[in-house]
Amino acid sequence: KNEVEQSPQNLTAQEGEFITINCSYSVGISALHWLQQHPGGGIVSLFMLSSGKKKHGRLIATINIQEKHSSLHITASHPRDSAVYICAVGQGAQKLVFGQGTRLTINP
């Protein structure tokens, strides 16, 4: 079993829908990161969480430390949100352990 599990692996939705991507982890962490990998391959850091909730534009990330679970939400989804979303947990000093990613496709 992977230390970081994401679900779903693939998600297709219509423009405007509310999107939720889940991340569960089985190890103690110091922080959790959400990353976005564009179709061209580039990676952008979206959020870093150690507790609670963060919001940036249409993106919301939450984390429940007790349940070892985080969610990434996208409101009013748009085709340009189509990408792979990656959950990564930070252990110890600086090492990141990554989930397999969720491939999101938003159709117009």
Residues of this chain that bind another protein (CB under 8 A): 29-31, 33, 35, 41-45, 48, 50, 86, 88-101
Q: What's the CA dihedral at 108, 77, 8, 84 to 10 degrees?
A: 80
CB closer to another protein, 29 vs 74: 29
Q: How far is Cα 77 from Cα 91, in angstroms, rounded to an integer?
A: 31
Least Å distance, CB 41 to another protein, is 5
CB closer to another protein, 49 vs 77: 49
* Cβ 65 vs Cβ 89: under 8 Å: no
Least Å distance, CB 78 to another protein, is 22
Least Å distance, CB 60 to another protein, is 18
Give the count of beta carbons closer than 10 Å to the beta carbon of residue 56. Answer: 9
